[in-house]
Amino acid sequence: MKHSTLKHLTAAVATTFALGAAGAASAAAALPPLKTQGEVQYLTGGVGEQQAQSIKQAQSEFPLTLEFVEKAKPRDDYVADVDVKVMDHQGKNVLTTRADGPFLLAKLPSGEYTVKATYRGHTIEKKVHVTKPGAARAVFVWNAEH
């Protein structure tokens, strides 16, 4: 009797690990590809619920998270096609890209950065302090054009 119970428990644990691994693999598969520009690794995307959730889960692995939103009624909307420029404390450009979705995650060295995000010709500038992964987050919000 004990051997049978142990066998069922072992099978249940193995199934749980397999499902967890499949879920992690599925989340990783939903992530957009990691890109490199100079010393900076980054990814951008978040179009679609599955990819957005995968990116939100991956935020803790990246020192900088940027999010792009348009203020709208009845609710705010995520936006894509945002031109992004990240400069270090000396004004040196470390990343220039176009966001393919409402999120951009970047692996940057610790330090002070200025981020300029441009959407439909309107630029918002923010200062960010990057330390450890998951620590720095900036949300850029544009008013909807009428």
- pLDDT tier for residue 132 given thresholds of 50, 70 and 90: confident
pLDDT tens, position by position, 36-66: 999 999 999 998 889 999 999 999 999 999 9
For the chain, give the mean pLDDT. Answer: 84
The answer, yes or no, to whether residue 68 has pLDDT greater than 90, is yes
Element (H, E) at 94: strand 93-99
DSSP 145: P
**Average pLDDT value for residue range 99-120:** 96
- pLDDT category at 91 given cuts 50, 70, 90 is very high
Structural domains of the chain in order of their starting residue, each with its CATH number: 31-143 (2.60.40.10)
Residue 146 has pLDDT above 70, yes or no: no
Res 48: pLDDT: 86
Q: For residue 142, give both structure tokens.
A: 């544009």
In 3D space, the residue among 85, 58, 122 whose CA is nearest the CA of residue 141 turns out to be 122
Average pLDDT over residues 130-143: 92
Asked whether residue 99 carries a pLDDT value surpassing 70, the answer given is yes
How wide is the angle at C-alpha 76 spanned by C-alphas 73 and 96, nearest 5°? 140
Reported as a single tens digit per residue, the pLDDT across 12-22 is: 334 333 444 44
Q: Are 88 and 94 in contact (CB under 8 A)?
A: yes
Going by C-alpha positions, the residue among 64, 57, 2, 48 that lies closest to residue 25 is 57
So what's the pLDDT on residue 145? 72
Phi-psi sector, 121: left (phi>0), alpha (psi -120 to 50), beta: left
Alpha carbons 1 and 7: distance in angstroms, whole number: 10
Task: Name the pTM for this structure.
Answer: 0.78
